[in-house]
Chains A and B, each alone.
Chain A
Amino acid sequence: MKNIITVTWYSLREALARKVFIFFFVISILTIIFVGLILYLTGIEKIFAPGMQSDVFTAVNSLEMMFVSPITLICLLLSIFSSASFIPIMLEKGNIDLLLSKPISREQLLLGKFFGGILVVFLNIAFLILGVWLIFSLKFSIWNFEFLLTIFTITFIFSILYSIIVLFGIITKSSTLGMMIAYLLFLIVSPALYTAKYTLSVLIQSSFIKGLIDFAYYFLPKTSELMGKTNYDLASGHGITNYQPILTSLLFLVLTLGISVAIFRKKDF
């Protein structure tokens, strides 16, 4: 465990040394300042008519999501980009030789790197969401603690995408393929499968095609649903209304990480 913590901590140091994470942090600060300015200078509370007092909670929550969703999306895209080279750099000749010459198992080394990447994104996302939440809560005196759960949803989405980057990083020793697949899955495949499964399936006649869509839908992670519905349900205090996207995505994460560890254990450097 000590070894995993050491590698995780130094992965955090590695991330902090990269300009892109500073950029991430600056975006978060600017977002928080921007939200603060809008809330305190524009009198946005006037949009809530006196009659809708009972719905202020929902309205505030929607506003919070409206500000946070696009920013977290950008932050996720940025996180994928910035963390994609973690594994290839670790696998460089002269670096991996040294790491593997130490009394640390290959599993510990890989998990340390994996958790390091997640920790960086978790801290950045937590900073952004806590900042936005605090400004809203102080302004409206509505302390919606459930909104903070989105920190974990977004970190979970990142960890799924990061597991793909880790797998392809180990196989190819390059960041390009893993990054492309992660972006493809996050931006195209996951939303497309969701649409195909719940909207287009009534139009599809072929049971083979339907089966194929079902298989792809259940097998691949549901980042689009997690980012949308699951996140919104949690933030608005409805809790988790559907565990399926979380559980199947978690299984995908475990499977991908398991394959990564298995390959890494046998690989020659």
Chain B
Amino acid sequence: MDFNSIETTGLTKVYSSSFGKRKVQALTGLDLTVSAGTIFGFLGPNGAGKTTLIKLLLGITFPTSGSARILGEDISGYKIKSRIGYLPENHKYPPYLTGGEVLDFFGKLSGMEGDLLKKKIDELLELVNLSQWKKTKVKNYSKGMMQRLGLAQALLNDPELIFLDEPTDGVDPIGRKEIRDILTELKSRSKTIFLNSHLLSEVELITDRVGILNRGKLIREGTVKELTQKNEEYKLNLEGSNVDSFIKQYQDIFQISKLNNGYCNLKVSDANELNNILDKLRGEGIMVKEIVQQKNSLEEIFISLISESEKGGLK
């Protein structure tokens, strides 16, 4: 896929109070592109502007300035929404409807009808493990069941682009795994998924690219690998009788230190230095059994970037 499902240019949203006395800058000049067929994770602390971006893209709220296109079309039209699915955070369904009726209502609003809709409802309820609850009123559903019904609702029209705002909120670990599997399967069918989530460990597991937002500004964007790898730090597994003496000899020259079970930690300035050390190790008859580039967790990176941004270190 070589086109973008989402493109925003200088997208800005300022919320004003009723008499315009108080203004809140929810999003500031956001430039973002999300390629088709990928899972994009959008992260940020509460109030960073993540939900505002989704609402702008879906025409639920209107931009103060800037522009955006989804699936190649301007966001001002409503017909493009027939190709989009959305699971909002804290969604509410009419409590007097059953799970099946909720899907029937939203399916009809999405332009579906008849046997095709009925078949799709049964398929999706099966997919999210709610088949046996089809005729139960949603007021009797648990939070996790509501989330799963919400996911089914978002997939009704077989959308090309799916926005999910905290999809695993309130879902137990098994349910979360099931949702992750569904998202991975959707990606394999070339669907684009835009995922807002606080569960960074989950985002790390399934997303291709990640954007981090703070106070309405995009402070970092890249693949999970790009964001989490510590470029010049490696863990080496060494074998040889003279490993300890080697480390003692070179620990002041190279930043090498001993860990447990034959492992040591190495910090280098660049790839040349790394190769230089490897040559020296081999020259001393030490076998290098494993080299692993060290990574931060996404959570560590997230906290560090947000703290830096708060201190004004990131523009």
Given that A97-B60, A102-B81 are contacting pairs, would A6 and B90 also be in contact in the complex, using a CB cutoff of 8 Å? Answer: no
Q: In the assembly, what is the distance between CA of A219 and CA of B55, in Å?
A: 38
B250 on the interface (CB 8 Å rule)?
no
Interface size counted on chain B using CB atoms at 8 A: 32
**In the assembled complex, which residues on chain B have CB atoms less than 8 Å from the CB atom of A7?**
109
Interface 0/1 of A1-23, CB less than 8 Å to B: 01100110010011001000000
Q: In the assembly, what is the distance between CA of A17 and CA of B80, in Å?
A: 33
Choose from B84, B92, B163 the contact partner of A95 (Cβ within 8 Å): B92
A123 on the interface (CB 8 Å rule)?
no
**In the assembled complex, which residues on chain A have CB atoms less than 8 Å from the CB atom of B91?**
94-95, 97-98
- How far does the Cβ of B118 sit from chain A's closest Cβ, in whole Å? 15
State whether B62 touches A268 (Cβ < 8 A): yes
State whether A13 touches B15 (Cβ < 8 A): no
State whether B109 touches A6 (Cβ < 8 A): yes
Q: In the assembly, what is the distance between CA of A10 and CA of B107, in Å?
A: 13
- How far does the Cβ of A152 sit from chain B's closest Cβ, in whole Å? 29
**In the assembled complex, which residues on chain B have CB atoms less than 8 Å from the CB atom of A2?**
108, 111
Interface 0/1 of A81-110, CB less than 8 Å to B: 000000000001111111111111110000
State whether B60 touches A100 (Cβ < 8 A): yes
Contacting residues of chain B (50-96) with chain A, CB-CB under 8 angstroms = 55, 58-62, 78-82, 84, 86, 88-96
**In the assembled complex, which residues on chain B have CB atoms less than 8 Å from the CB atom of A96?**
60
Interface size counted on chain A using CB atoms at 8 A: 26
State whether A101 touches B88 (Cβ < 8 A): yes
B106 on the interface (CB 8 Å rule)?
yes
State whether B86 touches A103 (Cβ < 8 A): no
- How far does the Cβ of A34 sit from chain B's closest Cβ, in whole Å? 30
Q: In the assembly, what is the distance between CA of A196 and CA of B60, in Å?
A: 46
State whether A104 touches B78 (Cβ < 8 A): yes
**In the assembled complex, which residues on chain B have CB atoms less than 8 Å from the CB atom of A94?**
88-92
State whether A6 touches B78 (Cβ < 8 A): no
**In the complex, residue of chain A having the shortest beta-carbon distance to the beta carbon of B113:** A2
Interface 0/1 of A60-75, CB less than 8 Å to B: 0000000000000000
State whether B92 touches A3 (Cβ < 8 A): no
**In the assembled complex, which residues on chain A have CB atoms less than 8 Å from the CB atom of B200?**
none
- How far does the Cβ of A112 sit from chain B's closest Cβ, in whole Å? 10
A269 on the interface (CB 8 Å rule)?
yes
State whether A100 touches B59 (Cβ < 8 A): yes
State whether A100 touches B58 (Cβ < 8 A): yes
Contacting residues of chain B (1-50) with chain A, CB-CB under 8 angstroms = 15
Contacting residues of chain A (247-269) with chain B, CB-CB under 8 angstroms = 266, 268-269
Contacting residues of chain A (30-61) with chain B, CB-CB under 8 angstroms = none
**In the assembled complex, which residues on chain A have CB atoms less than 8 Å from the CB atom of B105?**
6, 10
State whether A269 touches B61 (Cβ < 8 A): yes
Q: In the assembly, what is the distance between CA of A93 and CA of B165, in Å?
A: 13
**In the assembled complex, which residues on chain A have CB atoms less than 8 Å from the CB atom of B163?**
101
State whether A103 touches B92 (Cβ < 8 A): no
Contacting residues of chain A (172-193) with chain B, CB-CB under 8 angstroms = none
Contacting residues of chain A (139-195) with chain B, CB-CB under 8 angstroms = none
B264 on the interface (CB 8 Å rule)?
no
B110 on the interface (CB 8 Å rule)?
yes
State whether B96 touches A103 (Cβ < 8 A): no
B278 on the interface (CB 8 Å rule)?
no
Most chain B CB within 10 A, of A3, A99, A268, is at A268
**In the assembled complex, which residues on chain A have CB atoms less than 8 Å from the CB atom of B80?**
103
Given that A3-B109, A6-B105, A266-B62 are contacting pairs, would A101 and B84 also be in contact in the complex, using a CB cutoff of 8 Å? Answer: yes
Q: In the assembly, what is the distance between CA of A269 and CA of B60, in Å?
A: 6
- How far does the Cβ of A143 sit from chain B's closest Cβ, in whole Å? 39
Given contact pairs A98-B86, A102-B110, A269-B60, enumerate 17 new A-B contacts (beta carbons under 8 Å): A2-B108, A6-B109, A7-B109, A17-B95, A93-B92, A94-B89, A95-B92, A97-B86, A97-B88, A97-B91, A98-B106, A101-B60, A101-B81, A101-B86, A101-B163, A268-B55, A268-B60
Q: List 12 A-B contacts (CB under 8 A).
A: A17-B94, A17-B95, A92-B92, A94-B89, A99-B109, A100-B59, A101-B86, A103-B79, A103-B111, A104-B109, A105-B78, A269-B61
CB within 8 Å of A: which residues of B?
15, 55, 58-62, 78-82, 84, 86, 88-97, 105-106, 108-111, 153, 163
